[in-house]
Amino acid sequence: MAKIEIIIKDSRGEELTRLQSIDLELGSQSLDEIETAVEKLKQKMLPQISSELLSKAQREFTQEKKKTQTSVCNGTNIVKVKTIHGHDSRVPLLRKPQQGRESI
């Protein structure tokens, strides 16, 4: 019997996740039995690995999307603001960017 552990690491070698270890029954260790055991392992583990990698990619995408959402000036509405020192100022209204528009 062999014990298989799958550890997913990033490009810097830092551990991202560790999947549950699995005991691999090799039988009498003939080539056919080993190939069968490995095929069963792939069928069992690949969906978990894919799920982990897709979840991580989605988290990173969401975090990156949040970082790139900045305010833009639409240049049409002027609002009056007061600074912390009590000075009045007129500035263009800022809003979140829309699809296909540049951000500043």
Per-residue pLDDT tens over the stretch 9-58: 888 998 888 888 888 777 777 888 888 888 888 888 888 888 888 888 88
Cβ(71)–Cβ(94) under 8 Å?
A: yes
Helix (H) or strand (E) holding 75: strand 72-82
Closest CA to 16 of 52, 66, 58: 52
Nearest 10 degrees: Cα torsion 46, 50, 53, 55: -140
Any idea where the domains of the chain sit in the sequence?
Answer: 2-68, 70-104
Closest CA to 21 of 44, 51, 39, 43: 44
Summarised one tens digit per residue, pLDDT across range 56-100 is 888 888 887 776 665 555 556 666 666 776 666 666 555 555 555
Spatial separation of the C-alpha atoms in residues 45 and 37, rounded to whole Å: 12
